[in-house]
Structures are given as C-alpha cells and as structure tokens.
Amino acid sequence: MKSVRPKAIVGAGPSAELAKLRTRLAEAEDTLRAIRSGEVDVVVVTAEKKLQMFTLEGAEHAYRMLIESMNEGALTLTAGKTILYANQCFARMVKLPLEQVTGSSFNRFLCAADQATLRPLMKKSAACGSKMQVMLKAGDGSLLPVQISVREVARSGSGRVTIGMVVTDLTEARRTEELLRALTQRVVQVQEDERGRLASELHDNITQQLCGVLFSSQALANKLSARDEPAKQEAVKLRDMLGKTAEAVEQISRNLRPSELEHLGLDAALRATGRAFAARTGVAFKLAFSPLTGRLPAEIELALYRIAQDALNNVEKHARARHVTVALAIPESVVEFSISDDGVGFNLRRQTAGGRGRSGLDLLGMQERATYVGGLLTIRSAPRSGTKIEVRIPLLPGVSAG
C-alpha cells in the first residue's frame, strides 16, 4: 500500500508534528465519545474516494430549541398520563412553573368528563394519532379551550410506552367561530326581514290591485248581454285568469311570510304547505306530529318551517319521490324534526364542500337555520335510497311543548 505524507507536515519539526497529531487524536476521541453517548448525530459522506464524518453538534439542543420555541404546548407522558416532559408554552397555558408541571399527572388539568374521554384516546394513539377538544384547567382555576393531539412516540423493549402530546390553544379559533356564527345569524335575520317586507308589498299592493281588476272584470262580464256572447266569454276568461294570478301572488306572499305560522302554529302552517305541495307535485304528503301541548319558541318554529320549505323544494326539484313525510316529536326536551322522501337520493360526499358536486343554497341554508337555534342538522341519503333531513334542537330548561 502506498502511503503519502501529508504536505502540511513535510518540512515541520518533529515536535510540531507531534502536537498536531495529539490535537487530531483528542478531537477524534471527543467525537467518538459524543457519538457513543448519543449526544450528536453523525453524517457520513463519501467524497474523493474517502469517507468523511460530519457531526451535527448540538442536534439535541436544536430539537429542544424547536420544541421550546413552538407556539403550542408539547409534552411527553407515560401511558398512565404522568408528564415526563413539558415545554414552557404548556407551562404558560396552565399558568404554573415548569417544575410543578413535570412529574405530575396530566389529569389534574382536565375535568372528570374530559379525563374519561382522553382514556380511550390514549389507547387508540398507539395505532394512529388521534385528536380531541377539551377545556384545560389552569393552576389558577381558569379554563382554556384546547385541542390535544396524542401519538405514541416510543416503546421500550419491555413494552413501556411514551406518548407525545401537542396542545393547541383554540381561543382565537373559537372567537372566529363565534364571529362567523353571529354573521350567519345576522344574514338569516336580514333575509327574514326582507322576506317580510316583500310579502307585505305583494299583499298590500299587487294582490289588492289584482283583486280590484278581478271585480271589474266580473262586473264587465255581468254587464255584457247574452247577445254579445263571444265578448262575454272573453270577459269571463279574463276574470278567471286574474283570479288565478291573484291566488298565485297570494301564495308567494304566504310562503315569504307564513301568517298561519304566526297565528296557528307550525302544525297548521305545515299542513297548509303540504296540501299545496301535494296538489302541485302529485307527491303524497304526510304530517306525523306527536301531540304537542303548547307552542314551540317562535324562532324554532320559523327555523323548522323554513327547513321544511327548503327540503320540500328539493324533493320537488330532484327526488322523483312518491311519498314525503314531515315528522316532529319532543322526547325529553329535544325537538326531533325530520323530512323524509322515498325518491332517488344522492351521493352525500359529492355534495359537500370537498366533493365534485355543486352544493346549492338549500342544504347550506338548512344547516345554518338549525345552528341558528342551537340545533344540529343531519342529512342521510344514498342513491336510490331516498333522503332524510333530521334536525335535533335541545330545548332550554323551562321550555316545553311536548
């Protein structure tokens, strides 16, 4: 094997050469010690037919800096939820010094219900990461809405598990949600006001005037003598057309602001809507209301009425159904309302935001109406299996109509 003398050493005195070799040996020993103890990572690069070792000194330090500079709480826990490590951000979230956080149980920051929900989540985290939203109880008793994501990060040879957890403060997200909800409520309110204004204009101006012309055409038909039969028939035809137009305008006005709903309640208003729907579409309409002892709050009645209107529009436009049923029951202070049809149904996933289908205004509007009164709307549908729109609205204590 041919050996080459390093150029830098050529010409130097033996003591300088020895000092350089000693320094290099010390460096090599240091690096080896660090690699053995896991303090540093090492990258081996092949360059110019030689192996070169690059040590990432302070890698541990860099990870720690990353975790500490995160805007999220980061923790590692045992499977029994003892906190092994927490970053400063988490300590700030729970308003405690870090020393009081490390070594304690994560349960102390949760209420009993959230502790019970977290238990299965921690188990599930072994297979895949999982998330949940909880209220974090800080050291001073204040509550913070957070999302926690957990994932198994290590498992020792003896099966001991270490869980990694990231805690995200949801205060800002909740505020944005509330703003959006307030905006939606405002839109719904403005829409209702506008519908009311239009209904009054139609009723007070157009319908009244149409009725005036209708009476005049009737009077004209009466005046025309039997000798002028063709003209008389024209006048009668004109009267009938005007009658139908006045009725149609009045129906539009009623749909815009259903006076039956205000005066007679949801049951009567939906019965009238159902009759008109069945007459117009030929679809059999059934109202299945369990007996109510009183009226529901006005805003809930209006929301349910509008949801039924929108759902019936969709049945007429898309379902090709033979039967439609509108049902209402109030078991244990929860209003359960549904509109179901036996039509063609549709692929739900394609109609949602991420799907390829075009999502129209009715499905969105119905969701908003339900949310507006504190309820939840679920759509159940599948091709050839009909469609069911379900709404559940919890009633406030003291309110009862069932």
Ligand X SMILES: Nc1ncnc2c1ncn2[C@@H]1O[C@H](COP(=O)(O)OP(=O)(O)OP(=O)(O)O)[C@@H](O)[C@H]1O
Residues in contact with ligand X by CB under 6 A are: 314-315, 317-319, 341, 343-346, 351, 359-363, 387
CB of 318 to ligand X, least distance (A): 4
Least gap, CB of 362 to Mg ion (angstroms): 3
Sign, CA torsion 14/16/17/21: positive
341 binds Mg ion per the rule CB under 5 A: no
Q: Give least dist CB 306 to ligand X, A.
A: 13
Nearer to ligand X, 243 or 360 (CB): 360
**Strands (DSSP E) along 265-333, which ranges?**
284-289, 323-329
**Which residue's CB atom is positioned nearest to ligand X?**
360
Give the relative orientation of helices 171-201 and 361-372 as an angle to the nearest 10 degrees. Answer: 110
Partners of residue 55 on adjacent β-strands: 42
- Say which residue the tokens 């033979």 belong to: 322
Which one of the spans 13-21, 37-45, 269-277, 360-368 is the region binding Mg ion (CB under 5 A)? Answer: 360-368
**Distance between CA atoms of 188 and 392, rounded to whole angstroms?**
19
User: Candidates 57-65, 147-155, 246-254, 355-363 — which segment interacts with Mg ion by CB under 5 A?
Assistant: 355-363
Task: Count CB atoms within 10 A of the CB of residue 287.
Answer: 17
Beta-carbon neighbour count of residue 220 at 10 Å?
16
Q: Which is nearer to Mg ion, 360 or 374 (CB)?
A: 360
Q: How far apart are CA 314 and CA 307, in angstroms?
A: 11
- Going residue by residue from 312 to 331, which x/- string records binding to Mg ion, judged by CB under 5 A? --x-----------------
Of residues 52 and 352, the one with the C-beta less far from ligand X: 352
* Minimum CB–partner distance for residue 307 and Mg ion (Å): 12
Q: Can you tell me which residue has the tokens 């460096």?
A: 27
Rounded least distance, CB 312 to ligand X, Å:
9
Q: Which one of ligand X, Mg ion, none interacts with residue 363, CB within 5 to 8 A by kind?
A: ligand X
Nearer to ligand X among residue 265 and residue 343 (C-beta): 343
What's the CA gap between 364 and 368, in Å, rounded?
A: 6
Say which residues have a Cβ less than 8 Å from residue 270's Cβ, sequence separation at least 6: 287, 305, 308, 326
Residue with tokens 């003398």: 5
Determine if 301 is a binding residue for Mg ion (CB under 5 A).
no
Please choose, out of 69-77, 136-144, 311-319, 379-387, the segment that lies near Mg ion by the rule CB under 5 A.
311-319
User: Do 130 and 121 form a contact (C-beta atoms < 8 A)?
Assistant: yes
In 202-228, which residue ranges form alpha helices assigned H by DSSP? 208-223
- Cβ partners under 8 Å of residue 372, min gap 6: 184, 185, 188, 299, 303
Q: Which of 341, 342, 362, 368 binds Mg ion (CB under 5 A)?
A: 362
Judged by beta carbon, residue 169 or residue 362, the one nearer Mg ion is 362
Output the smallest distance, CB 361 to Mg ion, in A.
7
Choose the one of ligand X, Mg ion, none that binds residue 374, judging by a C-beta under 5 to 8 angstroms depending on kind. none
- 52-55-60 Cα angle (round to 5): 160
* Residue 65, binding choice from Mg ion, ligand X, none, Cβ under 5 to 8 Å by partner class: none
Q: Given the rule CB under 5 A, which residues bind Mg ion? A: 314, 360, 362
